[in-house]
Chain A
Amino acid sequence: MSSYLIFAYGGVGLCGIGVFGFILHSHLLRRLIAFNLLGSGTFLILVGLSQSGRGQPDYIPQALVLTGIVVAVAATALALVLIRRWAALTKHATLPEDQGPS
C-alpha cells in the first residue's frame, strides 16, 4: 500500500470521526471543530487518493486543497463571529433547540 493511499484511509477515518462529532455535539464550538476535521479528512482523501491513482504527486488536487483550506478558514472565522455574537446575546453556546428544558 502506498503512503498516499494510507493517508487517504486516514482521511476516511477523520471524516467518520468528524461526522460523528458534528451530529453528536450541541456545543457550537465543538461542532465547528468537527467540521474542520471533516474538512481536513476530505482534503486528505482528495490528494491522497488521486496521487495514489497517478502514482506520483498531482498538483491539481493540491491546488484545490489550498483553495479549500482558505475557504474553510473563511467559513470557520465567519462561524466564530456568529457564535460569539450569539453567546454574547444569549449567554449560550448552543442553539435553542439543543438547550433542553430550562
Chain B
Amino acid sequence: MNELIDLTLICILLGLATLSLFTQSLFRSVMFFILLGLILSLVWIRLDAPDIALAEAAIGAGITGILLLDALAHLRATSNTPPQLLQLKQPRFWLALLSGTGVILALGLAVSEPLSPVVALDLKVSENLAESGVTHPITAILLNFRSYDTLLEVAVLVLAALVALTLRQSDEHPVANEFLPNQLLHACLKLFFPMIFLVSMYLLWAGSTQPGGAFQAGAVLASAFVLFYLVGLKTQLAQNEHYLKRGWIFGLAIFVLVGAVPLLQGQPFLTYPDAHAGVLILLIELGLTLSIGWILFSLFLLSQSASTFQKKDTP
C-alpha cells in the first residue's frame, strides 16, 4: 500500500517535472514547478525528513516560486519563442537526449547496486548529540558538528544578495505603494505580519528540539517582509544601502565572532564551550534567521530594480 503511494508520488513528480519543462507557456511552466515543490515536500515527509519538507515548502516552493513569478512578469517584454521540442535536425537535441539518458542509465545502475555503508556515521551523531547543546539531531549537525559548512553557506547567501546589489540601478526609487491599493487588504496584511513573525520565531525556537530552525524561520520571515512590501508599507529601510548590507551580514558576523572567540582560548575555530553551547547556537540562529529573512527579501526587492531599464544603460 505504502509502495503504491510512493509510486504515485513519483509519477506525479516526474509528470510535473516534464510538464514544467516542456509546456508551451512559461507561466504554466513556473506554476507546475511550484506545484512540484509542494509535492516534493510530501515526498520528503515520506522520506522521514520533516525538516527538509518544511524547508522545501518554505524555500524551494515558496521563495523560489515568488522570485520566479516576479521575474516572469518582467520577462514579458522579451522575445519568448515557445520551445520546439522535437528539433530532430538540431545536434543540440541529440546531445540533450544522449546526456539525459546517459545520466539516467549511469545513476540508475549506481543506485541499483546493493549498499552496506561501512562507516556508521548516523550512530556517531546520536552518540554525540548530548554534547551538542541541542536535542534535535539536524540542528546539532547544522550548527555544531558541521557548523563550518553552515558558515560558508550563509556567506553564499550574502553573496547572492551582493550580486543583486551590484546590478541595481544607482539612482532609482522603486515605487512601493502601487501594487495593492486596497485599504482593507492593507489592514489585514498589517495584522498578518506580527503573526507571521511569531510563526517564524517559533520555528526558530523549535529548531533545537524538533523540526525547524534558522533557515525555515528565515524563509518565513522573508515572506513576511515580502507581504509587508506588497501592501505598500514604507520600505525606507531597504532603500538605504548601509542598512541593507548591515542587515545581511548581521548573522554572519555573529557566527564568525562566536566561532573566533575560542581561538583566543586555544580551542579550534567554531568550538562552543560545553556549558553554553545551547545558548550560543540559539544566538547564532537568531542572527541567521534575521539575516536570512532580510537577504531573501532583499533579493526579491533588488531583482525588481535589476530589470528596470534605463536609457543610459544602453551598452
Contact = CB atoms under 8 A, between A and B. Distances in A.
A24 B49 CA distance: 33
A13 B115 CA distance: 20
A18 B59 contact: no
B74 A84 contact: yes
Contact of B71 (A18, A29, A56, A70): A29
A95 interface: no
Given A6-B3, A67-B150, A85 B96 contact: no
Given A6-B10, A7-B43, A44-B43, A91 B79 contact: yes
Contact of B107 (A15, A71, A74, A87): A15
Interface residues of B, number: 94
B285 interface: no
Contact of A93 (B2, B51, B75, B292): B75
A5 B47 CA distance: 10
B267 interface: no
B138 A63 contact: yes
Given A7-B10, A47-B52, A59 B122 contact: yes
Interface string B37-67: 0001001101111011001100110011001
B78 A54 contact: no
A60 B97 CA distance: 34
Contacts of B146: 63
A8 B313 contact: no
A37 B17 contact: yes
Interface in A52-92: 52-54, 56-60, 62-67, 69-78, 80-85, 87-89, 91-92
Contacts of A27: 26, 80, 83
Contact of B104 (A12, A34, A50): A12
Nearest to B105: A16
A36 B37 CA distance: 10
A88 B164 CA distance: 14
Nearest to A39: B60
B51 A24 contact: no
A83 B305 CA distance: 12
Interface residues of A, number: 77
Contacts of A32: 68
B25 to A, nearest CB: 11
A49 B142 contact: no
B306 A30 contact: no
Contacts of B302: 81
What are the 3 tightest A-B residue pairs by CB atom distance, in nearest-first order? A20-B100, A16-B104, A53-B115
Given A59-B125, A84-B74, 16 more contacts: A15-B107, A17-B17, A20-B21, A20-B97, A23-B100, A29-B68, A40-B36, A44-B47, A50-B117, A57-B47, A57-B48, A57-B49, A59-B122, A63-B138, A78-B160, A81-B164
Interface of A: 1, 3-25, 27, 29-30, 32-34, 36-37, 40, 43-45, 47-54, 56-60, 62-67, 69-78, 80-85, 87-89, 91-93
22 contacts: A4-B47, A7-B46, A12-B107, A19-B103, A20-B100, A25-B21, A29-B30, A33-B21, A37-B20, A40-B60, A56-B122, A62-B49, A63-B141, A67-B142, A69-B59, A70-B59, A70-B153, A70-B156, A74-B160, A80-B71, A85-B306, A88-B308
Interface of B: 2-3, 6-7, 9-10, 13-14, 17-18, 20-22, 26, 29-30, 33, 36, 40, 43-44, 46-49, 51-52, 55-56, 59-60, 63-64, 67-68, 71-72, 74-75, 77-80, 83, 85, 92-93, 95-97, 99-101, 103-104, 107-108, 111, 115-117, 121-122, 125, 137-138, 141-142, 146, 149-150, 153, 156-157, 159-161, 163-164, 167, 213, 215, 292, 296, 299, 302-303, 306-309, 313-315
